[in-house]
Amino acid sequence: MRLMLAFLICTSLPPIAAAQDAIASLRVGVVCGPPVIGSSPAPDTIAGSTHLIAETPPFIAEITQVPAVIGIGFGVMAQALDPEGLSDVTMIMTHPPMGVAGVTQQSYQSWISGTEPSPTFYQFDEDYQRVTGTWTFTAVLDDAELFSVAFDVVPPQALPGLAEACGYRDLLS
């Protein structure tokens, strides 16, 4: 599983929160993992890099429940109010303990466009990444939170139709 863009949230907050003075729009949902055309260094992630994609995948469902299935991705489409966009945004993802080291947070630098929605999503690429529980995406700029979204990653059996939506039926377990 690799990061596309990431975030952080407290469990006592609503599932979606956005700074009204910086973020023009924020949509959340589930995607089928798109083809990867390269990678970008992200030393504060388990993989050490994030995927680069040619085209933004459409949401197949605009919900915050996600089946833990290889090939499924989830995240946000955010657009800045400022037409120039926002650069030097730190994307932070928190999640239940993952991998041998039990990592619970990953982050990397990104930007948010002011002229079109910018995708930020995480895609399950490896079995060790499919940890169930609360995952949060938080965007931070100059120590100010721009948005935060909480997702509930569930076993595939909890959302069988969505788990099979991307054609990964053989990978359900």
d(CA 112, CA 140): 11
DSSP symbol at 61: B
User: How open is the CA angle 157-163-164, to the nearest 5 degrees?
Assistant: 115
pLDDT value at 10 more than 70: no
Look at the chain and report how many structural domains it folds into: 1
What's the mean per-residue pLDDT of the chain? 87
CATH code at 88?
Answer: 2.60.40.2390
State the pTM of this model. 0.85
In a domain, residue 133? The reply is yes
In a domain, residue 172? The reply is no
In a domain, residue 50? The reply is yes
In a domain, residue 169? The reply is no
The domain in which residue 146 lies consists of 2-164
